[in-house]
Amino acid sequence: MLYAIISEDVPNSLQQRLAARPDHLARLEGLRDEGRLVLAGPHPAVDSLSPGEAGFSGSLVVAEFDDQASAQAWADADPYILAGVYARVVVKPFIKALP
């Protein structure tokens, strides 16, 4: 089943995010290579593709996992959590309706 992993950043955590980004992306690339990643990306803190120093307010990942516990375990091991970027992470079942 698909799960949405919705994360909220700690305020002013841009530098921690940038430092942990390579490890974060490597995990996402692993999901992609396994054919399990639907989409992933950050939420800019401002209305811009390049938010600069404003940074990001969080992230969204939609991917396939065996069950919610597996999705939660994957989310809990994210390098952004270990680096103190994420203040909160919610994992919810997701049904893709469109396209």
- Do 59 and 80 touch, CB atoms closer than 8 A? yes
**Domain assignment of residue 70, yes or no:** yes
Mention every residue, 6+ apart, whose C-beta is less than 8 A from residue 48.
Answer: 54
Parent domain of 71: 2-94
pLDDT tens digit sequence for 17-65? 999 999 999 999 999 999 999 999 999 999 999 999 999 999 999 999 9
- Which CATH number belongs to the domain containing residue 12 in this structure? 3.30.70.1060
**Domain assignment of residue 71, yes or no:** yes
**Domain assignment of residue 81, yes or no:** yes
Q: What is the mean pLDDT of residues 73-84?
A: 97
**Domain assignment of residue 99, yes or no:** no
Question: Could you please report the per-residue DSSP string of 24-51?
Answer: HHHHHHHHHHTT-EEEEEEEESSSSSS-
Q: What is the pLDDT of residue 41?
A: 97
Q: What is the pLDDT of residue 65?
A: 98
The Cα 25–Cα 28 span in angstroms is: 5
Model-level pTM?
A: 0.94
